[in-house]
Amino acid sequence: MSRILKASGFLGLSIQMLWGMGNTNLITPGGPSLPSWVGGTHAHFGIFGILAIVLGFAVDRYDVSGARQTVITWVFIAGQWLLPATIFVAVVLSLGPLSMLEYVWGLLLFISMALITLTVWTQSGRSGAALG
């Protein structure tokens, strides 16, 4: 199941790159100025993409399985995609109160990271597993 985390991470980085190219196009000479939320969404896609990939390798390395693996994986993926999507939708549609959901998505990301932290703290990892 860590494959889905890694794929989600690489997809997030790919979208971040396309987003960045679009931003570059918008700020080239003569182009419109960018709203403040554009950089924030771009950064979220990049950071969460990298974290998903690293988390996927950690799940493999520490032989996380069962319910813990399911929670770590899907709770992180939900937060990874819903947080920047909420920022985007709230700003584009001028739905300020919707941005309160960012705290929920942030909590999901925290839960996933706290579970992998507990796993790393309490287990010894397989040698070489991070490469496979």
**Per-residue pLDDT reduced to its tens digit, 13-28:** 888 878 777 766 666 6
CB atoms near residue 72 (< 10 Å): 25
Tell me the CATH number at 43: 1.20.120
What's the half-sphere exposure (Cβ side, CA atoms, 13 Å) at 54? 11
70 residue type, one letter: T
What domain count does the chain have? 1
Is the predicted pLDDT of residue 65 greater than 60, yes or no?
A: yes
14 is in which domain, residue-wise? 2-131
Q: What is the pLDDT of residues 79-124, one digit of tens each?
A: 999 988 888 888 788 888 888 898 999 999 999 999 999 999 998 7
pLDDT tier, 130 (very low <50, low <70, confident <90, very high otherwise): very low
Helices marked H in the chain: 2-27, 37-61, 66-92, 101-122
- For residues 57 and 130, the answer to whether their CB atoms sit within 8 Å is yes
DSSP state of 123: S
